Amino acid sequence: MKDTLTPGLTHTLHYTVPEHRTVPHLLPESSDFATMPPVLATGYMVGIIEWACMEALHGHLDDGEITLGIHVDLSHVAPTVVGSTVTVDVTLTAVEGRSLTFDVEARDEHAVISTGTHGRGVVDRRHFEARIDARLEGGRP
């Protein structure tokens, strides 16, 4: 991690919601999801928020480092329809060792749709990929 990775770092992401990011498309094999109204799915909203946090970190990690989502504490309090633009504002509030905490607010043209926090952990990509390979081979690292 670079010295520039400090609390107070902010970033904004804008995302226009397409049809394939709505609840019926979240898990198409689920008839329960398939019959829901076509609004932004919570699962996709979480992904958009993670994306905003990852973008906030551009230029602040050392070569070979990536971040992984390690904690999510988010509300989802209003529906967002297809074609709406979601604006996600994130602020890095804590850097504790290799753990990062972001405050999050997401909104569309009509309302705040989410608030909360998101945690990310900084890891070495090669080490993490080695752990994945070991699991694929039947190990438990």
What does the pLDDT look like over 4-54, one tens digit per residue? 999 999 999 999 999 999 999 999 999 999 999 999 999 999 999 999 999
How far is the CA of 63 from the CAs of 2, 44, 66, 67, 85, in angstroms?
10, 28, 9, 12, 33
Model confidence over 94-114: pLDDT tens digits? 999 999 999 999 999 999 999
* Residue 111: DSSP 8-state: S
Give the catalytic positions in this structure.
Answer: 42, 50, 76
Q: Is the pLDDT assigned to residue 139 strictly greater than 90?
A: no
Evaluate whether 57 touches 123 at the Cβ level (below 8 Å).
no
Identify each DSSP E strand in the chain by its residue range.
10-16, 65-74, 85-96, 99-107, 112-124
- pLDDT at 140 (0 to 100): 67
Distance CA 55, CA 10 (A): 10
- pLDDT at 138 (0 to 100): 82
Q: What angle do CA 85, 87, 89 make, to 5 degrees?
A: 175
- Look up residue 4 and give its two tokens: 């520039």
Q: Which CATH architecture has domain 10-136?
A: Roll (3.10)
